[in-house]
Structure 1
Amino acid sequence: MRAVVLAGGVGRRLRPHTLTIPKPLVPIDGTPILHIILAQLRGAGFTHVSLSLGHRAHMIEASFTGNQWAGLELDFFLEEEPLGTAGPLALLPPFEDSTLVMNADLLTDLDFAELIARHKKSQAAATVALSRQYIDIAHGVVELDDDREVTDFREKPRLSFLVNAGIYVLEPSLLRLLTPRVRDDMPALLDRARTEGERVEGHVIEGDWHDIGTPEQLNRAAAAFRNDRARYLGRGAAAVLGAGTGAFQEVGSG
């Protein structure tokens, strides 16, 4: 199985952590975010990962010291200008099969192999992983009808909604909707696909998902990872991580 990891972001919101290293190499409990993701992918049965790089690309490449890492075949593609979350896909060779595409600034215990299997079974052109998020309202909520008559009271309700988790499975046919070297984002690509009658399916993550965009979010993700590494890595990914982290430590120590 093949995956694409979008690792070209600058990480301005994550400063000061990203003042000296690129966002994908910011550590979670001592391990770079990107290395955790790759270990998870290898543990799920992926064998080939393409990394789309931009900001400080040389540092990310150096953290792997080659095109093989813990049993994964890696290749690197450079965005000379930021191309968004979909545009970089036009730089890659055509997909041969259903391909996982994901951002490099997240932590999740999602079973990536199961996601691929569900996507194939659905026969959708794309599957979007979703995370259920909650907002607690500190006040009572009142609803009115068109005549300003009160129709409902809800005391301090908890609202829920689904957010894009930055993880997708795409069919090769979707790449025809991209223009090479033109900035494009995944929501726009999937909207075009739906306009053309393609099925875009959602998959709700039942476990954990953490966006790592700010120092506060990084701290929450690091605490979750530290408290239950086995939940995120499992036996297979933990073994992969142990085999693959030496290259980063060697680069970092220099």
Structure 2
Amino acid sequence: MKIIVPMAGRGSRLRPHTLTVPKPLIPVAGKPIVHRLVSDIAKVLGEPIEEVAFILGDPAFFGDDVVESLMQLAESLGAKGSIYRQDQPLGTGHAIMSAKESLSGPAVIAYADTLIRADFDLDKSADSVIWVKQVEHPEAYGVVKLSDSNEIVELVEKPKEYVSDLAVIGIYYFKDVGVLKKELQHILDNDITHGGEYQINDGIKRMMEKGMKFVPGKVDEWMDCGNKNVTVETNQRMLGFLEKDGEQLVSNSVKKDNANIIEPCFIGENVVIRNSTIGPFVSLGANTMVENTTIKNSLIQSNSKITNANLDNAMIGNHVVFDGKFETISIGDYSVLE
């Protein structure tokens, strides 16, 4: 089994945090989004992973440190790591075809801006599985239309009239991803675009037209990391899941002086907490110092200094110095507010 991970986007909706760190590498509950996604998919699949292929953008942004982190992720799964570059932002189908050398055999394609919690058996009798989640407002999503036999017969993007409430979450299984490769090559060769971009859906639709069997796979939880508010919410939900799983979330190296930690919280290596209350649902990255502060429902990265603050629904980047009485804030890396 292979895992193909398109992650070339700049994550503009999560700025300023993605001005210096690619969105898939933003930590949530102490672990980068893409690391959590790939590890959770591998766990769900329950079989050896042969290769993890990552599709990155501009080397000036997705540099050597990013490549090293991703290769270590693949190695941790006992898999070969491959790096490809999408030289232009020309859509989901174009991104996948940037990794054409790896498009053979059974594979999962997973876009690295979402997290899941799931427990299921993969239907390998189908040519493809498209994972979906029931949503309240399907008109805001791409959705699947099902037949009476529970097969996917159509993909509809943001339907104006009700089709179904099963939204496509951006994770797909293909019994032979080489078939998708062939159809996407046809899309590229014939310059079939929507909004100037080559889309995975057009390749999937060609597969459907040829009678291939597509079925839905349902996840228990689907968590977005598209903007600051939903990323903070995802951090909260993930901390709750990890606490139930019995994971150790507070490092043994944390230094506390008159500190109250209300779980669940993730607190990284060498964090210092003085005269403060942390939690619930807070993540503090390694080497961060917090003093005379109350924090809840917030996500704070590494090597930052937070003093004299009362934070709720906040997201603070790496190497930040923050001294103030603001509450709901979003501050990128290397910012100073004193």
Shared fold per TM-score greater than 0.5: yes
Deviations 1:111-152 (A, max 9, x none): 4xx45x31x123x2x2210011125xxxxxxxxxxxxxxxxx
DSSP 3-state at the match of 1:134: coil
Residue aligned with 1:179, SS:
helix
Which residue is 2:29 aligned to? 29
**Cross-structure match for 1:132:** 134
Secondary structure, counterpart of 2:173 in structure 1: strand
Distance across 2 between alignment mates of 1:177 and 1:65? 29
* Aligned: 1:216 with 2:224: no
Distance in 1 between the 2:205 and 2:234 partners? Answer: 31
Is the 2:52–2:80 Cα contact (8 Å) retained in structure 1?
yes
Q: Deviations over 1:165-213 (max 9, x none)?
A: 10001222221112399452222221222233333222222x1011211
State the SS of the aligned residue for 2:136: strand
TM-superposed deviation, 1:85: 1.7
Which has more radius of gyration? Answer: 2
Structure 2 unaligned residues grouped into runs of 5+: 138-163, 189-196, 248-268, 270-285, 287-301, 304-318, 320-338
Structure 2 residue 84 is the aligned partner of structure 1 residue 77: yes
Which letter does structure 2 place at the counterpart of 1:177?
E
Q: Which has the higher contact order (CA 8 A, sep 6+)?
A: 1
Q: Distance in 2 between matches of 1:20 and 1:218?
A: 17
For the structure 1 residues 102 and 67, does the alpha-carbon distance in structure 2 shift closer, same or farther, using more than 3 Å as the test? closer
Q: Aligned pair 1:57/2:65, yes or no?
A: no
- The SS at the match of 1:228 is helix
* Structure with the larger helix share: 1
Provide the rounded CA distance (Å) in 1 between the counterparts of 2:246 and 2:206. Answer: 37
User: Please, which of 97, 106, 109 is the counterpart of residue 98 of structure 1?
Assistant: 106
Distance in 2, Cα, partners of 1:62 & 1:9: 18
Deviates more, 1:62-71 or 1:26-35: 62-71
Secondary structure of 2:17's match? coil
Structure 1 residue 69, shift from structure 2 partner: 2.7
Q: Which amino acid aligns with 1:26?
A: I
Indicate the residue corresponding to 2:201 in structure 1.
187
- CA offset at residue 78 of structure 1? 0.6
Cα RMSD of the aligned pairs, angstroms, is 3.3
Corresponding pairs, count: 213
Matched residues, percent identical? 23
Higher mean alpha-carbon deviation, 81-90 vs 175-184, is at 175-184
CA contact (8 A) 1:90 1:180 kept: no
Q: Which moved more, 1:100-109 or 1:35-44?
A: 35-44
C-alpha spacing 1:166/1:64, structure 2 compared with 1 (3 Å): closer
Report the secondary structure of 1:3's partner residue.
strand
CA drift at 1:91: 2.9
SS in structure 2 at match of 1:121:
coil
| 1:225 Cα deviation from its structure 2 partner | 0.8
TM-score, scaled relative to structure 1:
0.71
CA distance in 2, matches of 1:225, 1:67: 20
Report how far residue 65 of structure 1 moved. Answer: 6.0
Question: Against the structure 1 CA distance between its residues 163 and 234, is the aligned structure 2 distance closer, same or farther, given a 3 Å change threshold?
Answer: farther
2:187, 2:198 within 8 Å by CA — same for their partners in 1?
A: no
- Which structure 1 residue ranges, 5 or more long, are not aligned? 136-159, 236-245
